């Protein structure tokens, strides 16, 4: 039965991919002379792509906190697995910063490129500066940017200290940081949403899961100060404290 569900979802997602790939390509053609209009087009349809993807995977999202965040905010969250992208994309209109490896994923990579995702390779120092500059430009254009500053996925039971480099963009743009936590409720240890050791097994597990519930907690925004390290530490503490609190209450 679950194999049939996986096949149905694969077929449905191929259809979604085709539709949104066409929409993305049309945006690039229509607004190739206007970067601002292209970003608005992509931001609008990217959120709908994420919402449709959550529908296909039957991901049920409960949002807590104030979701009416300011445009041009830097949204940072803990990272567990690929559903994080769909969930945050459905909750917030903005652009993602993704690790460079995403560019090699089938289907997702094409949509990510059409969606003007910012790819980051932290092993290359010169590229980090370019990424910071790109994030700053998006923030200054009143587009929120969503990223996972742990720079890795965890099993959801703890949070790895945040990398501070990307927070420089919020400092330069004088834009607030909005910490967000994602928590899954599937009773698996670790959660089915966790990447694990194999991307293929991870995706197949999600495709076979009838329903996945998640809670997104939007924490109070943090004003950008003059120091990226302090901003990263405050954001990390806010996210980790909430994750640890939720885990202790569920035990």
Domains plus CATH for the chain?
2-250 (3.40.1130)
Q: Is 128 exposed, middle or buried (0-12, 13-18, 19+ CB in 10 A)?
A: middle
Tell me the two tokens of residue 169: 């963009």
Specify the residue for token string 């910063």: 97
Question: CA distances (Å), 246 to each of 158, 180, 234, in order?
Answer: 11, 13, 19
Q: Are the CB atoms for 183 and 246 separated by under 8 Å? A: yes
pLDDT at 102 > cutoff 70: no
Structural contact between residues 80 and 191, judged by C-beta atoms closer than 8 angstroms: yes
Helix (H) or strand (E) holding 63: strand 59-65
Where do the H-state alpha helices sit in the chain? 2-30, 35-57, 83-91, 108-114, 125-140, 168-173, 199-208, 228-250
Kindly report, residue by residue over 156-181, the tens digit of the pLDDT.
889 999 999 999 999 999 999 999 99
Q: What is the pTM of this model?
A: 0.93
Q: Which tens digit of pLDDT belongs to each residue from 51-91? A: 999 999 999 999 999 888 999 999 999 999 889 999 999 99
């Amino acid at each position: 039965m679950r194999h049939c569900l996986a096949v149905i979802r694969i077929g449905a997602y191929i259809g979604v991919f085709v539709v949104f790939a066409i929409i993305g390509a049309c945006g690039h053609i229509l607004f190739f002379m206007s970067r601002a209009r292209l970003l608005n087009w992509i931001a609008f349809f990217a959120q709908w792509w994420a919402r449709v993807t959550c529908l296909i995977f039957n991901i049920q999202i409960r949002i807590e906190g104030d979701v009416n965040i300011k445009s041009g905010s830097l949204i940072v969250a803990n990272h567990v697995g690929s559903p994080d992208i769909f969930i945050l994309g459905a909750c917030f209109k903005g652009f993602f910063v993704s690790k460079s490896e995403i560019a090699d994923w089938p289907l997702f990579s094409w949509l990510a490129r059409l969606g003007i995702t910012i790819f980051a390779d932290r092993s290359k120092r010169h590229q980090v500066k370019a990424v910071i500059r790109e994030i700053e430009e998006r923030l200054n254009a009143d587009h929120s940017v969503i990223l996972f500053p742990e720079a890795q996925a965890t099993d959801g039971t703890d949070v790895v200290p945040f990398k501070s480099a990307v927070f420089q963009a919020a400092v330069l743009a004088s834009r607030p940081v909005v910490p967000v936590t994602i928590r899954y409720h599937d009773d698996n240890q670790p959660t089915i949403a966790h990447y694990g050791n194999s991307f293929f097994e991870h995706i197949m597990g999600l495709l076979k899961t009838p329903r996945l519930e998640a809670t997104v907690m939007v924490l109070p925004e943090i004003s950008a100060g003059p120091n990226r390290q302090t901003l990263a530490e405050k954001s990390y503490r806010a996210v980790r404290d909430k994750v640890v609190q939720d885990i202790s209450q569920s035990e």
